[in-house]
Amino acid sequence: MSQIVLGIESSCDETAAAVLAADGRILSELVLSQIADHAPWGGVVPEIAARAHLAALPELAREALRQAGVGYANLGAIAATAGPGLIGGLLVGTGFAKGAAIAAGRPYIAINHLEAHALTARLPGLSAAQPQFPYLLLLLSGGHSQCVVVEGVGRYHKLGTTLDDAVGEAFDKTAKLLGLPYPGGPALEALAREGDAHAYPLPRPLLHRPGCDFSFSGLKTAVAQLAAAQGTTALPRPLAANIAASFQAAVTDILADRLANAFARRPDVSAVIIAGGVAANTAIRTRLDTLCAAQGKTLIAPPLRLCTDNAVMVAWAGVERLRAGLTDPLTAPCKPRWPLEDLARDMVR
C-alpha cells in the first residue's frame, strides 16, 4: 500500500493541509492564517476559529492534493490533529479526515499535536544528521512549555513543565501590556531589538534551582508593574523597547537554565529540538545554540514555518505512525487535553 500521507491541522487558529511521501519529501503544504480574524479581539476566539476551519478546510485539502499530484486513492493514510487544542477546531479537522478516510477506504490516524512537534526533528533534510532516539524536545508555545525526552514514537518522558503560564502566553500578555499588536510574540521580538536588555533587572523564576519546570507568572507580573508605573498613557517607544528587551533576556536566561538542568539529568541525549511559536525567536535560538554547542549537543531548530502550527509535522507524524502500524479507529475521540505521556498507555490498549 502507498505510504503517502495527507495531514490536517486545525487545533487552534491556522487551517493547514500537507501531503508527504514516505521518505519525508514534502509534496505540498498549505497554511491559511486566521490572524486577521482574531486581531480585533487581541487573541484567538474559539468559535470564530472553528467556523473558519469549517469554511476553508475542504478546498484547502483538495488544493494540497492537486499540488502534490495525487488523489485520495493514492494515499496510504489520512492523519489529523486530534488534540490537544480547541475542541471546535479539532472536531472540524478530525471529522473531515474521518469522512475522507471512509470515502477513500484509507486508514485514519489521530495525531497528538505535541508528538507532531516532537517528531519534526526526524523529518529528512531538516538537519545534517537525522537525530536518533533519545533526544530532547523543548516545546515553547502559547499553550505549552515542556522539556521532554523523546524515547521513540509514542514513548515520551516529561522532565518538566510550566507551573503557571506558558512561555508563549507570557510573550503575548507582555506584548499587550506594551501596546503591541496581535500576535504579540513577533512584535515584541522586533521591539526588543531597539532596547537595552539590561535596563530593568526583571525576575527570573526558578533560576539556578533544581529540576526542569518553568514559571513565568512572576516575570509577567513584574512587567505589568513596570508598565502601570508609567500611568495610563501609551508607553514611550524607547521605554517600551527597554522593557521588551529586558523581558526577552529574562525568558532566555530561564530557558537556558532549564535546558542545562535537562542535560545534567539526561547526559545520554545528543540532540535538542526546539518547537512551538516561541522557537521562532532569534535571540532564544542563538542562546540555546550556544549552550548546546558548549555541551557537545546539536540544536535542531526547524524552519520558522515549521515552528508554528502546520500540517507538515502532522503528516510526518502520520508517516512515522503508519510505518509502525499504528492507525486508529474512526471512533477515536478528540482530546482537548492529551498529555504526551498518555500516548504509551494508548498504544497498549
Q: How many CA atoms lie within 13 A of 202 on its CB side?
A: 31
Distance (Å, whole) CA 110 – CA 267: 32
The answer on whether 141 is annotated among ligand-binding residues is yes
The answer on whether 53 is annotated among ligand-binding residues is no
Distance (Å, whole) CA 254 – CA 212: 10
The answer on whether 341 is annotated among ligand-binding residues is no
The answer on whether 172 is annotated among ligand-binding residues is yes
Buried b (16+ CB within 10 A) or exposed e, 200-209: bebebbbeee
The answer on whether 76 is annotated among ligand-binding residues is no
138: which 3 cell numbers?
523543548
Specify whether the backbone of 69 is left (phi greater than 0), alpha (psi in -120 to 50) or beta.
left
Distance (Å, whole) CA 102 – CA 98: 6
Residue 80, phi then psi, degrees to nearest 5: -145, 145
The answer on whether 328 is annotated among ligand-binding residues is no
Going by C-alpha positions, the residue among 100, 101, 81, 105 that lies closest to residue 16 is: 81
17: which 3 cell numbers?
493541509
Three-class DSSP category at 150? strand
Strand boundaries in 76-195, DSSP class E: 77-83, 108-112, 135-140, 145-152, 155-161
Q: How many CA atoms lie within 13 A of 293 on its CB side?
A: 6
CB 19 within 8 A of CB 4: yes
The answer on whether 257 is annotated among ligand-binding residues is no
The answer on whether 281 is annotated among ligand-binding residues is yes
DSSP 229: T
Binding residues: 113, 117, 139-143, 172, 185, 189, 281, 309
Known binding positions for substrate: 139-143, 172, 185, 189, 281
Annotated binding site for Fe cation: 113, 117, 309
